[in-house]
Amino acid sequence: MKISKKGFHSTSVHGVGERDPLGSVTTPIYQTSTFSFESAEHGAECFAGESDGFIYTRIGNPTIDEFEATIAALENGYNGIAVSSGMAAVNTVFLTYLGSGDHIVCHNTLYGPSRGVLEKTYVKLGIESTFVDTAKINNVANAIQPNTKLIFLETPANPTISISDIEAISKIASKNNIPVCVDNTFCSPYLQNPLDLGADIVLHSLTKFINGHADIVGGIVIPKTKEDYDKLNYTMINFGFNMDPHQAFLVRRGVKTLGIRIDRAQENALKIAEYLDSHPKVEWVKYPGLKSHPQYELGKKQMKGSGSIISFGLKGGLNAGRTLMNHVKFIILAVSLGGIESLIQHPASMTHSKLSKEAKVSGGISDELVRLSIGIEEPEDIITDLEKALEKV
């Protein structure tokens, strides 16, 4: 019997697939590269798409299928396409919608490699990119060209936490017949559903909130329609971007606690953002839950919570930030985000270091910007660690 879609937490736990016929409460790991056919005719039917039977794990696998359907249900999409990493998800989208002579409009702040791959690799394939501050709607309208084939947003953006209006941008895009893809990594489906706001495709680095335990790298693309699904799935299969069944099992386990992890982490993050905001050594703090965030109202409208990523700058700039990062003892100095453990990193010299100086300046990735990903620990322990490290600054 197929499980019907229920509330967010119920769907995260139970999914929307069939219960296992042998009674396994968790989705079994089908650790196999290939699947046997009942007959030569059955094999031919599977390849012709006339049978639901599995063929080969790069094309489809029951463990991965169940995971994809669960995330698609949480994002209100047609179906999910699980891939080996968040970057594989980004490239599945770029390779599907862009060809020689085409143009893409992007937010000027993206995760470093998402922008870098357009500037270094796609440009060699004859694909032109325009990066604008999509938080200002007019910039999007003005950047559209007759050959624009995709609008690509991160909201909130990594690492500036800039918020773009998905609904307004999707309206402009749809008037021009341009698909909109939103990288929803910073929110996860628990806090934001871009497809409900008019976007056509949503993607995630699963490495972050959705898995949440810093033990796998993965990605997923979820389109709204079957037509887009078929195109994207073709790219995934033929470029070999697929996920592995064991990876799918681990991230599926992470999904079960997604909502409760985020509830706890964002409750902590607000306390830490307020603490930093009131600290005399802190110059500025960017967090969607603070009224000082430039798109505070928009965040309230399109997100169901403020998330747990905070950017801030210290008085004393980069040197002060380095001193802070070298003196935290409980918070871990590491890239990545969205896990149960609090992490701190310096985008200009780490996650976004490969970008050109111009790209960093136009994207607002200043040298003093320090990024915190708040976990589910006791907030007092995080604040005590920051307090002691700030004393050294």
Residues that bind ligand LCS (CB under 6 A): 85-87, 90, 111, 114, 154, 158, 183, 185, 205, 207, 217, 219, 335-337, 351
- Residue 118 CB, shortest distance to ligand LCS, in Å, is 13
Residue 183 annotated among the catalytic residues of the structure:
yes
Q: How many CB atoms lie within 10 A of CB 274?
A: 15
Nearer to ligand LCS, 63 or 185 (CB): 185
- Residue 80 CB, shortest distance to ligand LCS, in Å, is 15
Give residue 260's identity as a one-letter amino acid code. I
Give the Å distances, CA to CA, from 259 to 59, 127, 205, 218, 262: 30, 38, 17, 19, 5
Q: Who contacts 39 (Cβ-Cβ below 8 Å, separation ≥6)?
A: none
When CB distances to ligand LCS are compared, the closest residue is 86
Query: Is 245:61 a contact under the CB 8 Å cutoff?
Result: yes
Q: Give CA–CA dist 164/112, Å, rounded.
A: 18
Q: Which of 65, 183, 228, 385 is catalytic?
A: 183
- Residue 139 CB, shortest distance to ligand LCS, in Å, is 20
Q: Give CA–CA dist 339/252, Å, rounded.
A: 15
Nearer to ligand LCS, 54 or 111 (CB): 111
The strand pair at 370-373 and 282-286 is best described as unpaired
Q: What is the DSSP secondary structure assignment for residue 313, as one 8-state letter?
A: E
- Residue 292 CB, shortest distance to ligand LCS, in Å, is 23
CA of residue 239 relative to chain centroid, distance: 21
Nearer to ligand LCS, 266 or 351 (CB): 351
Cα 164–Cα 169–Cα 170 angle in degrees, nearest 5: 125
Nearer to ligand LCS, 164 or 205 (CB): 205
Nearer to ligand LCS, 204 or 264 (CB): 204
- Residue 249 CB, shortest distance to ligand LCS, in Å, is 17
Q: Which of 65, 97, 102, 111 is catalytic?
A: 111
Cα 38–Cα 43–Cα 46 angle in degrees, nearest 5: 115
Residue 261 annotated among the catalytic residues of the structure:
no
Q: Which of 115, 149, 208, 360 is catalytic?
A: 208
Active site residues: 58, 111, 183, 208
